[in-house]
Amino acid sequence: MMTDADYNRVIWASRRGMLELDLVLEPFVKDAYRTLSSRDQARYRKLLECEDQELFGWFLGRLRPEDEELAGIVDTVLAFARRPS
C-alpha cells in the first residue's frame, strides 16, 4: 500500500521543470495516479525515471517508447490529458 510519503515523492518527481511536461504529468498524478492499479503505478514510476527529452517526444506523439510497458502508461497519461474538462 502506498503511503502519503510515497505519493508525495511521486508528485515531486512529476514536476519536471519543463512546462509542457508539467502540464501533462502534474494533473495526471494528482487526479488519476491513486486510481491506477499497482502495476500501472509502478509503470508510471518507471516512466518518471526517463529523460525529459524522451518524455517530451512521447507526449507530443513524435516518438513512441520501445518498451511496451512504458508505451502503455504513456497512452494512459495521454488519454487522461485529452479527456474533456
pLDDT in tens, 24-51: 999 999 999 999 999 999 999 999 999 9
Q: Which of 2-6, 34-38, 48-52, 66-70 has the weakest average pLDDT?
A: 2-6
Q: Residue 79's CB: how many other CB atoms inside 10 A?
A: 11
pTM of the model: 0.93
Q: pLDDT-based confidence at 1, cuts 50/70/90?
A: confident
Measured over the CA atoms of residue 43, residue 44, residue 49 and residue 54, the dihedral's sign is: positive
Q: What is the largest CA-CA distance in the chain?
A: 35
Domain boundaries, the chain: 4-82
Instruction: Note whether 56 and 18 are within 8 A (CB).
Output: yes
Q: Which CATH number fits domain 4-82: 2.70.70.10, 1.20.120.330, 1.10.150.250, 1.10.3720.10?
A: 1.10.150.250
Taking each helix axis as running N to C, give the angle between helix 38-47 and helix 68-82, from 0 to 180 degrees, rounded to the nearest 10. Answer: 100
d(CA 29, CA 49): 15
Q: What's the pLDDT at 2?
A: 81
